[in-house]
Structure formats: structure tokens, C-alpha cells
Chain A
Amino acid sequence: MEVKVVRDIMKINDNVAASNHEMLAGRGIVTLNLVSSPGAGKTSLLEKTLEILKGEIAVGVVEGDVNTSHDAEKIAAHDVPVVQVNTGGPAGGSCHLDAGMVKEGLAALELDGLQLLFIENVGNLICTASYKLGEDRKVTFVSVTEGEDKPVKYPLIFRNADAIVITKTDLIPHLDFDMEKLYGHIREVNPEAPVIECSARTGEGMDTWIAYIRQTSEDVRAKRGD
């Protein structure tokens, strides 16, 4: 005997992601899921972003890491609500945030009055691609030190990106790095997403990134009818 099932196994996660999204959208919060390999510069860019948006947009942060609360401490120094979600123990743990972990994190975060939420995912280009968290947009970061072929080596995370941010551009003079080649590889897997170049260290290109955040917030709200 056999039974036909046809059941998506990610549905359990996706249902929780949908309820996270509904809750956040209900509060008028726009959510960005930030993904990259470890050390691509998400936290530094986020810190710079918080400095710039201070007084303009009320921001909250969910910090995902396997271990430690180092990143949450850095973010908390900017006087914004932040919650650290650790996905594992000292010997290693889950390589990604899932919607359930984010749900628990959100329960511990002061959401009143927030307009924008950043979820900084665990640094990982494979596993984070499979899990929806409840975000409005997924942004994939790639630093210039990683080599130009990252997008074709890890196509899913770049294909799924609503925007791609190239970080640490201030280091280009010290590297054998070919920006055109990186763009070529990005376009092979994702021909449409906006690509933003910036350096958190020098501030170069930050205006483009901030403009993207403002525009995205407007677009998401317009679509929701906020």
C-alpha cells in the first residue's frame, strides 16, 4: 500500500516565517534579512547604517550567531533595541537562523515604535538560502576580499537576493580584484537585483545603501497600503 502525499518539507518553517511577517507587517515594520559569508562586513556596515539612520528611522536588530553576543553588544552601543539569537553551543551549532528562532528572538525584542528591522543572519552562504524568516527583502553581502566568483560558487543565495551589496570597497587598491568580473558573475545568476558598492570604513557608497533602504521601506509600505 502507498499514499500520495506531495508535501513541501519547508512548509513548517515557511508557516512560521509567514506568521512572523504578518506580525511585523501589522506593526508597520519593514524587515531586511542580511546574509553573507562570515566576515563579509555585515556588522560593521550595520553599525555605520545605524549611525546614519539615527533620529530618522526607528531601527531594531536581531543578531544571529552560532555563539557569543559580541555583535549584539556592538549594536547595543548604538542605542537601538537588539536581541542576540545564538544557534548553537561551543562545539558548533545550527548554521542558519530559522523562522522559529527569529520568532523567539522577536518575543524578546521591544517592537513598539519600530519602523525597520534588520535580521543579521549567521555568516553562511549555503544554509541561510533555504530558510525564510519573515523578511520583506533578502540582501546578500559579498566583500571584495572573497574573490569575484562567489556568486557562481554559491548561486542560490545570490539568486534569491533582492539586492546585493559589495562591501569593503576601500580595500580594492590593495587587491588583485576585478569589479567587472564580479558584476559579470552576479549577473549570471541574478540579472535583475540592484547592486550597491560601499565601504563602511570610509563611508563611500553608504549614501546609495541608505537610499536603497529608504526606497525599499517606501515600496514595501506602499504595497501593503500602510
Chain B
Amino acid sequence: MHEYSITEALVQAVKEELDARELAAPVREVHLKLGLFSGAVKGPVEFYFEMLTREGRLAGSRLVVEETPLALKCESCGSAWIAEEPLFRCEACGSSKVEITGGREMTVERIVFDDEES
């Protein structure tokens, strides 16, 4: 259920970016990078985005989610891999010194505007 709070933060972040850049054109798409190990799930975020943007500055905009896999890198032998399961042991050398290099993202990547209006 924390996807609701996360989506509220997403909407607030987008509004702040629009204000900071003094962009007034209608927003068509908000592109979000969402890591599979971020703790938030795509479906509920999309649902709440639709709900939270029925009115106001982002009305009519669409959320486009790009999910990123859990990427791991071994600090001992340097090998890197995409993990299907969140298991933190190096597949090559067995070391447990494994660093997360991707899959935790919750970032607004870009905002697309309605060209006709802009």
C-alpha cells in the first residue's frame, strides 16, 4: 500500500520540476524508471497515478513505467550479472561481497509535453 505514498511523491516531484522550469504546456507522458528491487510495484503505481492526476496540472497525462532488473556486481572478482532472484552470492566465485548496481531506481526520467499546445 505504500505505492500510494510513493505515487504522491512522484506527482509532487513532477509538479516541482514543472514549476522550477516554468513549463506550462499540458503534460502528455511522465516516464518513470522503477527498479524491480525498489520496493514498489508497477501496477499499483500506475493505478494511483491515474487516480491522483484526474484533476489539476497533470490531468490527462499518462505514466510510462520502465522496469529495471536487479543488477549485481561482485566486489571480489568483478563479475556482473542480472539476478532473477534477489540472492546476493557471486555466481562466479561464490563471494558474498556483492554490490547492487541497478534495480533500486525510482526516478522520473523525462516529461513529454503535448506538442500542439506547446
Of residues 65 to 118 in B, which have CB atoms within 8 Å of A's CB atoms?
Answer: 85-89, 96-98, 105-113, 115, 118
| Chain A interface helix/strand/loop/mixed | mixed
A6 x B1 contact (CB < 8 A)? no
B110 x A9 contact (CB < 8 A)? no
Picked from A4, A7, A94, A187, the residue with its CB within 8 Å of the CB of B5 is: A94
Give the number of chain B interface residues (Cβ < 8 Å): 37
Picked from B39, B40, B87, B111, the residue with its CB within 8 Å of the CB of A3 is: B111
User: Closest CB of chain A to B15's CB: distance in Å?
Assistant: 11
A9 x B39 contact (CB < 8 A)? no
A1 x B89 contact (CB < 8 A)? no
Picked from A1, A6, A190, the residue with its CB within 8 Å of the CB of B115 is: A1
User: Closest CB of chain B to A7's CB: distance in Å?
Assistant: 5
In the complex the two chains form, what is the Cα distance from A6 to B13 in whole Å? 11
- B51 interfacial by beta-carbon distance below 8 Å: no
B6 x A130 contact (CB < 8 A)? yes
A156 x B39 contact (CB < 8 A)? yes
A10-18, A134-142, A207-215: which lies at the interface: A10-18
- A: contact size bracket: 20 to 34
A192 x B9 contact (CB < 8 A)? no
- A5 interfacial by beta-carbon distance below 8 Å: yes
In the bound complex, residues from chain A placing their C-beta under 8 Å from that of B2 are 94-96, 126-127, 130-131
Of residues 138 to 187 in A, which have CB atoms within 8 Å of B's CB atoms?
Answer: 152, 155-156, 159, 187
Given contacts A4-B110, A156-B37, 6 further A-B contacts (CB under 8 A): A2-B111, A2-B112, A3-B113, A6-B108, A131-B2, A192-B97
Q: Interface on A for B, CB 8 Å cutoff?
A: 1-13, 94-96, 98, 126-127, 129-131, 152, 155-156, 159, 187-192
